[in-house]
Structure 1
């Protein structure tokens, strides 16, 4: 973004609008795409088609000559990138064993996103922009998308259920499922939590690099290393935190690690040493594991399996709408008036909101739910004439 901002002469509000453009169509496409993912005959073909189209749109950004041109391409990217999360997460929910679902969904969303999107991307893309220019860097972004589309087409099988419960993730849903999903408390809380985490993440990813380069005078290379440290933390903690939640429960894990997220943006304001800042954001990125849980694990576990795609699509779509679309527009405008440090305070506030609403979650981790159900059965007294074995 520092390269694009300087070349096209963008203010902070326009930077926020560029981030918001993809989020707007992503939000709408996630909800519709989540419903489509419950119905399509071939999830593999659906996913490959989405990958190819949004990779081409990413490539085309290198030709953008104006702010408006870039906005249009960002809208196109979000339209075809948005449905990928519901389809991939519903496939994983279908094939995962219940006691491994949190780990599997968290690993693919947080660790993969952290490894490729937050570690390799800042290092590789910033390096390409330094060596060539930002347009050439965009041209290179088509390669991973097309490679993954080919790998998925050759390797991925149509999902097969591992249990009777999992089989329902691929089954058709009856009419009226939207009302059913919207009445679910955990789904509504997941919408709020993921919206908060999107405020946190997008404000941090968009404006922290500008804060470092424009306010602190950090070089582009050092900035990319600091942001990659955040990505490394996302990659490692992204599967560790959901794994912890498989054993300790979704709710307590979300509250404890959610609080860490609120400290990550603040570290940019108080830590000036690049090495210490990199270490801090690496540790505090642990909260990103909670965002993945709110996005997919918790809503998928809270509804009938047949409507899991829709249940995941709603938090993703609405979270993108509020946190990904409205947030950068508002945050960019605020940053123009009050400075870039205000964007980091907004980022921290989003994490705090998500953590607060995590307090009201109903536990869904299969291990914890079964344990509590067993305790209730054991505490239920036997009726007259029943053997003790009935109580167990």
Structure 2
């Protein structure tokens, strides 16, 4: 349904909440294999290198899908059908993952899953840019990308899947993950409108993709994406194995330690982008990038209470709140908002290909050669390098830029 009238604040909240829930359900299954890996690895007789290849495979097709689907969506001006079709396809891939009986079959399922899921978030961000007021855009993008994905994909997933695997086997977890996505796909189709093309000023000259990538912020965000995507996927792929095999924690303790990451990121999805709306994107990017060092260092060296280790995990994982900022908010604010889906797809795709694809394979190879501590050292290096890159960002938060220039902030609601 097309329209020319901006929707009120209630609709903006519903758009953000529904897209966040949908992405959370998709992320639940992306992370499911990581939390189930202590059960899957011995069952399918997998090496650490093969464990890393699952994350690499999904990241590769996720990235290619994000690049392609985001670009097509921007050109056609069609968003809602893309999200619905991708969600339904993803649910089918979840069933395939549960039925896998060999390394190659499970690898194929992860490749298909990445292809189905990769275009969802770039297009979801473009819907938010079209429907949500600029002064709330950072918060809305943070909630859409981080709240559902982390509360469900990182928080609920280990608490639910590990007991299911213990009780009835790891395959059942994948089957359970598939059904909720069909519900959110229906809700998106019947309750959201196709964002109107009039949401942006089409009389203004449109920045080309080449010109967009001439902006310092876009280049820096792509490089930061490589490093912080590497940080996340290596943690997801190898932290459960490190905690159970290297540190000797039982599966239940591992599950709630990993769930701490989801709680942290769920809260951060509100707090981190909201703080950046007020004080600026750049200082928030700098602080939380460097804060990420405490998580791998705590995992490697802290020998005390598991509760204190959970607190270290909680605060270190705060950098997850940065992801919508460098993947979508900062690039779209720095150039042309009409390129949001394209820029998000490119920045996310760059991070997924060069970070998400290569880093798990590298981490797995290092783990086979030097032990399961090696992936945590790789995480440490990634967040330190990302922190230094954030120092070069140019401030883009509308409220902060307007305050500095003395101009009012335009609003669509």
Q: CA offsets, 1:34-82, max 9 Å, x none? A: 1122134542221110000011111111111110111111111111100
Does 2:320 match 1:284?
A: no
| Pair 1:9–1:174, CA change in 2 (3 A) | farther
2:200 alignment partner, SS class: helix
2:194 alignment partner, SS class: coil
Q: Which residue matches 2:178?
A: 142
Q: How far apart are 1:159 and its partner, in Å?
A: 2.1
TM-score by length of 1: 0.90
Q: How far apart are 1:296 and its partner, in Å?
A: 1.3
Q: Which residue matches 2:149?
A: 113
Listed as ranges, the gaps of 5+ residues in structure 1 are 376-392
Q: CA offsets, 1:254-291, max 9 Å, x none? A: 00111111221221112233221112211222111122
Q: Which residue matches 2:331?
A: 299
Does 2:347 match 1:315?
A: yes
Q: Which residue matches 2:255?
A: 224
Q: Which residue matches 1:235?
A: 266
Does 2:386 match 1:350?
A: no
* Contact residue 234 and residue 360 of structure 2 kept, 8 A: yes
Does 2:221 match 1:185?
A: no
* Contact residue 119 and residue 229 of structure 1 kept, 8 A: yes
| Pair 1:100–1:277, CA change in 2 (3 A) | same
Q: CA offsets, 1:228-277, max 9 Å, x none? A: 01110000012201100001111111001111112212211122332211
Within the candidate set 398, 401, 407, 1:366 is matched to 398
* Contact residue 173 and residue 306 of structure 1 kept, 8 A: no
* Contact residue 19 and residue 206 of structure 1 kept, 8 A: yes
Does 2:203 match 1:167?
A: no
Q: Superposition pairs for residues 47-126 of structure 1, below 5 Å? A: 47-126=83-162
Cα distance in 2 for partners of 1:127, 1:296 equals 36
* Contact residue 199 and residue 351 of structure 1 kept, 8 A: no
Bigger Rg, which one: 1
Within the candidate set 53, 56, 63, 1:17 is matched to 53
Cα distance in 1 for partners of 2:186, 2:168 equals 28
* Contact residue 114 and residue 235 of structure 1 kept, 8 A: yes
Cα distance in 2 for partners of 1:82, 1:257 equals 25
Q: Superposition pairs for residues 262-277 of structure 1, below 5 Å? A: 262-272=293-303, 273-277=305-309
Of stretches 172-181 and 2-11 in structure 1, the one that deviates more from structure 2 is 172-181
Does 2:79 match 1:43?
A: yes
Cα distance in 2 for partners of 1:26, 1:9 equals 26
Cα distance in 2 for partners of 1:269, 1:160 equals 50
2:292 alignment partner, SS class: helix
1:195 alignment partner, SS class: helix
Q: How far apart are 1:154 and its partner, in Å?
A: 2.2
TM-score by length of 2: 0.86
2:249 alignment partner, SS class: coil
Within the candidate set 167, 175, 185, 1:131 is matched to 167
1:183 alignment partner, SS class: coil
* Contact residue 207 and residue 336 of structure 2 kept, 8 A: no
